[in-house]
Structure 1
């Protein structure tokens, strides 16, 4: 926390420069106390502990700010994004798109419902947020977010008997498209987009990235028989995997630095043709296959290598490192939990 404490002066300058978001000075001061408390080294973070740290006799000021204050909460993300662009903006940066889930017990938090939870792999009572991370050479951080509202909140009904999970992915892909399109329109500098599996299989999002001539690496989920990826138009993907194994066409490379050191995997890649989707001028399609360095016990009981598939659209083979950048969004989630402790400000309904 020594590094965080060194931010005190800059943090005060940042929160002090947001006066235009507040109607009165008192909520701005309570906001600054709340942010400092969340970033502090308090063992347990709640209204009482953060109030005590700020020198308040009771948590009333912070609680009143969270529940009643008049201020432009919607204007805050724009201020944060402008700060991030100034501090981290780099033309070689990567936009990383994924969702995260928060498991809940109650039913008052906006968007909470019994829905598929990627964190646990089953149906849970949770919230789902579509997240966008900006990853540059000098650092990475959350840049934007959209809260997914399940059918129980919107009253929507899936046509044609579609499953709730299919509908969720369709709406999340639309939110992801909005994320990326907004960043292009806003002039945020970046050169690559890295997207996780649930979004990588969405043809509309892939088509839009093609049309914008944006380099991208999309994780592609494995479905059906072992080794056959979810890309119906790449019918020979299983054969390519077999070919690489028989001919030992694998290269061991690092996907980037992890919490336990370099994340090394075996890689192979092939230029592929996707019927109905022609690469942009000067670009090629590649199917990038990643294999674990050792065999593992798989979910179906087999002992085998773990494989992951990535669809790449780019003018050059730069995708291995970019595929690893996807994990920056997980690091952001973990770091946010560690720093802010047990407190998660929520929007509730009566």
Structure 2
């Protein structure tokens, strides 16, 4: 089948039960196609112009006033990804992305830390979940972080259409909510991966312990571990102690997977640890992975792994390396598919736009997975060769 035929089949299958009227069904298919096209700015007006609509009204109606359940679409995106990319050795990766906005009307916007710039910005923060396997990777779940300043402001909530049942949740709590949904959906995964912003949260780790879920999470240097001679010590002291004992040969150079610039090679060491106040699940053990940059040996990162006892360290290193897949998805979503180029301000339109962009990304990931093994197209390197082949003409 051609790219165009595959896309038409996908949008037709999903749109059939999702919409009761033909107009939103057609607008949905057009919007997915337009998001995949080479449009410089992917707001509703430019997307409408590209697809041949006289105005943006059809897309605006689809995102705002049309009657359809965006959670059903989210479930369809997940099902599509798992059908084509799913594996018992897959991983779920949690991270948040940001959308810098002007003004204070966009739902959830506030002065808060922005991962795009590394500083406080007026932005929205979106915790996301990527599913990744050896076949490919794509988003399968999403949340919009609602700061406390929004969660407790009834007038603001009302203007933005925030449902009454939505309460303040921290970003790790939102990830727990999404993990709960993935477990209920039967999503096959071996590990949860995330950066230290999530790895430092004891409630997220406890959730995994209680359900015997594996994880490989980056953790901060002050995470408390049970010390060898009693008491506790921060993670950062473990490496200092090993080096003080003269164990210079503790490092082993290994790749943790391919990146956009080639294999990611680091020096690694690992040792069994006990986390203060948090026992692993029955039959599981905690392992501390320490990763050192080859080019800059003072650059060190720590990972806490929770896995079945006896799990080989190379498997944990491979899982740690999968964390970057969600960063690639964030980049692809923004640069190629307009993930954060929306002009919507309310709760429902935000979820609809982001979920439709997730479907477009999933389609690219599945398309990439069907290419020959020696294909050199890589989704995400700007408007790369895969997009050129896949763009509607």
TM range (shorter): 0.7 to 0.9
Give the equivalent residue in structure 1 for 2:256.
Answer: 255
Counterpart CA distance in 2 for 1:64 and 1:202 is 40
- 1:308-319 equivalent positions in 2, closer than 5 A: 308-314=301-307, 315=309, 316=311, 317=313, 318-319=315-316
Give the equivalent residue in structure 2 for 1:130.
Answer: 127
Q: 1:147 to 1:294 in 2, by over 3 A?
A: same
Deviations 1:264-295 (A, max 9, x none): 11111111122433333332211111111123
Give the equivalent residue in structure 2 for 1:15.
Answer: 11
- The yes-or-no answer on 1:108 pairing with 2:112 is no
Deviations 1:214-269 (A, max 9, x none): 121111023xxxxxx33354516444313544322111111211111111111111
Contact 2:93/2:130, CA 8 A, preserved across alignment: yes
Give the equivalent residue in structure 2 for 1:121.
Answer: 118
Q: CA deviation at 1:343?
A: 6.6
Give the equivalent residue in structure 2 for 1:241.
Answer: 239
Counterpart CA distance in 2 for 1:21 and 1:219 is 39
Deviations 1:189-232 (A, max 9, x none): 1111112211111112211211211121111023xxxxxx3335
Deviations 1:289-341 (A, max 9, x none): 1111123xxxxxxxx61111111111312211101111110000111122125
Give the equivalent residue in structure 2 for 1:201.
Answer: 200
Give the equivalent residue in structure 2 for 1:160.
Answer: none
**Greater mean deviation of Cα atoms: 173-182 or 230-239:** 230-239
Q: 1:36 to 1:283 in 2, by over 3 A?
A: same
User: Which segments of 5 or more consecutive residues in structure 2 lack a partner in the other structure?
Assistant: 154-167, 227-231, 348-393
Q: CA deviation at 1:68?
A: 3.0
Deviations 1:146-179 (A, max 9, x none): 11100121118xxxxxxxxxxxx97111111111
1:72 alignment partner, one of 58, 69, 90: 69
Contact 2:41/2:341, CA 8 A, preserved across alignment: no
User: Which segments of 5 or more consecutive residues in structure 1 lack a partner in the other structure?
Assistant: 157-168, 223-228, 296-303
Q: 1:238 to 1:89 in 2, by over 3 A?
A: closer
Counterpart CA distance in 2 for 1:232 and 1:192 is 21
Give the equivalent residue in structure 1 for 2:271.
Answer: 270
Contact 2:90/2:190, CA 8 A, preserved across alignment: yes
Q: 1:270 to 1:154 in 2, by over 3 A?
A: same
- 1:1-350 equivalent positions in 2, closer than 5 A: 6-17=2-13, 18-155=15-152, 171-222=170-221, 229-231=222-224, 233=226, 235=233, 237-245=235-243, 246-248=246-248, 249-295=250-296, 305-314=298-307, 315=309, 316=311, 317=313, 318-341=315-338, 344-349=341-346
Contact 2:224/2:276, CA 8 A, preserved across alignment: no
Q: CA deviation at 1:123?
A: 1.7
Q: CA deviation at 1:120?
A: 2.5
Q: Secondary structure at the match of 2:327?
A: helix
Counterpart CA distance in 2 for 1:273 and 1:232 is 6
Contact 1:294/1:305, CA 8 A, preserved across alignment: no
Counterpart CA distance in 1 for 2:47 and 2:205 is 45
Counterpart CA distance in 2 for 1:236 and 1:67 is 49
Q: CA deviation at 1:37?
A: 0.6
Counterpart CA distance in 1 for 2:116 and 2:50 is 33
Counterpart CA distance in 1 for 2:138 and 2:339 is 20
Where do 4+ consecutive residues of structure 1 move more than 4 Å? Answer: none
Give the equivalent residue in structure 1 for 2:363.
Answer: none
Q: 1:42 to 1:275 in 2, by over 3 A?
A: closer
Q: CA deviation at 1:110?
A: 1.0
Q: CA deviation at 1:188?
A: 1.1
Give the RMSD, CA atoms, in angstroms: 2.4
Contact 1:194/1:326, CA 8 A, preserved across alignment: yes
**Greater mean deviation of Cα atoms: 47-56 or 76-85:** 47-56
**Greater mean deviation of Cα atoms: 117-126 or 264-273:** 117-126
Q: 1:47 to 1:190 in 2, by over 3 A?
A: closer
